[in-house]
Amino acid sequence: MLPAGARAGNSMARDEQQIDATIDIVTPENIAFQYQLAGPFRRLPAFLIDAALRLGVWMVAVFVLGIAGIAGGGAGIALLFLLWFVLEWFYGGLLETFWNGQTVGKRMLGIRVLSTDGQPINGLQAVMRNILRYVDMMPLIPLTAWGLPAGPYAIPTFMVGLLTPMFTQRFQRLGDVVCGTIVVIEQRGWLLGVPQLDDPRALALSNLVPPNFQAPRTMARALAAYVERRQHFSPARRQEIARHLGAPLRVRFQLPADTSCDLLLCALYHRTFVADQAGDSLTRIMHQPNE
């Protein structure tokens, strides 16, 4: 997945981040990826959609077992209990693991879970952050407080889940803090596939890049995000953004001092994604380990 937004330069001031709810994550290549954080007005509807979906699946199972005549028997109760256990404890974890940080609700609301370093979450993070969701339900109010008979059930208040994000700069609930994850808004308008370059200067400059050059994954993502957005920048702004990564690479490749950093990043993008069969190169880059 390409990041939701990227720009080069120093991190935004803390007060500015609080106003627009964005954060900058700086890669080892000194590129700051900018993400828009998902606040409670996006996360709560996603949670309710997932909860309604789980409830719907469980009710369908009850209906099917009822038609089969085994819903009230020992086997039917065991199956329903097993289904409830899987839905409650592993629905979110499994979907976020194999669906790139999204559940059904998150995909419908256009949000995604990432690691705090901007990388996709792994299976352990996905499962643990969903298991710890039950801590967010605390404190529980016993049924006796409502004049009902005591039993194994209680009413969750979600006070921990509501208050914790208020005291974290990245709107993290407790599970996010423990597992090192954040929830960001996925700006689908930027995900346009692999852009093609038609500037002959960039194509010619790509031939001057050493043939053994391979972009690390974080650099490849930065190049892809930059090329996607450069058409929205003025020429002066392009040079300002590109020089943070382009200037050191210009020295590394022993290119003339007047080489355009903007064109150099475009040339590296062409070498990384286009010249080497764009789709296969993109897949290989996104799955190689960080360097």
Neighbour tally for 51: CB within 10 Å: 14
- Per-residue tokens: 26: 């700086």
Q: How do the pLDDT tens digits run along the chain, 291 residues long?
A: 444 444 434 433 344 344 347 777 765 545 556 778 888 888 889 999 999 999 999 999 999 888 887 877 788 888 989 999 999 889 999 999 999 899 999 999 999 998 887 778 999 999 999 998 888 888 777 766 666 665 566 677 777 877 888 888 888 888 899 999 999 987 654 433 445 566 788 888 888 888 888 888 778 878 888 887 887 788 888 888 898 889 999 999 989 988 999 999 999 988 887 765 444 444 444 444 444
> pTM for this structure?
0.59
Residues in the chain: 291
**Torsion angle, alpha carbons of 146, 148, 152, 153, to 10:** -40
The answer to whether 164 touches 98, Cβ cutoff 8 Å, is no
- Per-residue tokens: 107: 């995909």
φ, ψ for residue 22 (rounded to 5)? -120, 155
